[in-house]
Amino acid sequence: MRHRVAGRQLGRTKEHRLAMRRNLVASLFQHETISTTMEKAKEVKSFAEKLITLAKKGTLPARRRAIALLGNRDIIDYKDGEAVRKGTVIGKLFSELGPRYLDRPGGYTRIIRLALRRLGDNGQLVLLQLVGAEESVKKQSKKRSRKKTKKAAEVEKPAEGQAAAKVEDTDRQEEDKIQEAEEKTGQEQ
CA-CA distance, 27 to 13, in Å (whole number)? 21
What proportion of the chain, given as a percentage, has pLDDT over 70?
74
- What is the reported pLDDT for 133? 61
Residue 136 pLDDT more than 60? Answer: no
- Residue 176 binned pLDDT confidence (cut-offs 50, 70, 90): confident
- What is the reported pLDDT for 179? 73
More confident residue, 60 or 158: 60
- What is the reported pLDDT for 157? 53
More confident residue, 134 or 44: 44
Q: What mean pLDDT do residues 7-15 have?
A: 92
3-state secondary structure of 73: coil
Q: Count Cβ atoms below 10 Å from residue 86 Cβ, excluding itself.
A: 13
Q: Which CATH superfamily is domain 14-131 in?
A: Ribosomal protein L17 (3.90.1030.10)
Q: What mean pLDDT do residues 44-50 have?
A: 96
CA-CA distance, 73 to 63, in Å (whole number)? 14
Cβ-based neighbours of 123, under 8 Å, separated by 6 or more: 37, 117
Buried b (16+ CB within 10 A) or exposed e, 30-58: bebebebbeebbebbbebbbebbebbbee
The helix (run of H) or strand (run of E) holding residue 137 is helix 133-188
- The reported pTM is 0.69
- What is the reported pLDDT for 109? 96
Kindly state the DSSP code that residue 10 receives in the 8-state scheme.
Answer: T
- Residue 173 binned pLDDT confidence (cut-offs 50, 70, 90): confident
CA-CA distance, 85 to 19, in Å (whole number)? 22
Residue 155 pLDDT more than 80? Answer: no
pLDDT per residue over 24-44, tens digit each?
A: 999 999 999 999 999 999 999
Residue 151 pLDDT more than 80? Answer: no
Beta strand ranges found along the chain (DSSP E) = 33-37, 74-79, 82-88, 109-117, 124-130
- What is the reported pLDDT for 177? 72
CA-CA distance, 52 to 46, in Å (whole number)? 10
Of 28, 151, 13, 163, the C-alpha closest to 93 is: 28
Do 21 and 43 meet the contact criterion of CB atoms below 8 Å apart?
yes
Residue 141 pLDDT more than 70? Answer: no
* Residues composing the chain: 189
Sketch the domain layout of the chain as residue ranges: 14-131, 132-189
pLDDT per residue over 88-130, tens digit each?
A: 999 999 999 999 999 999 999 999 999 989 999 999 999 999 9
Q: Count Cβ atoms below 10 Å from residue 113 Cβ, excluding itself.
A: 11
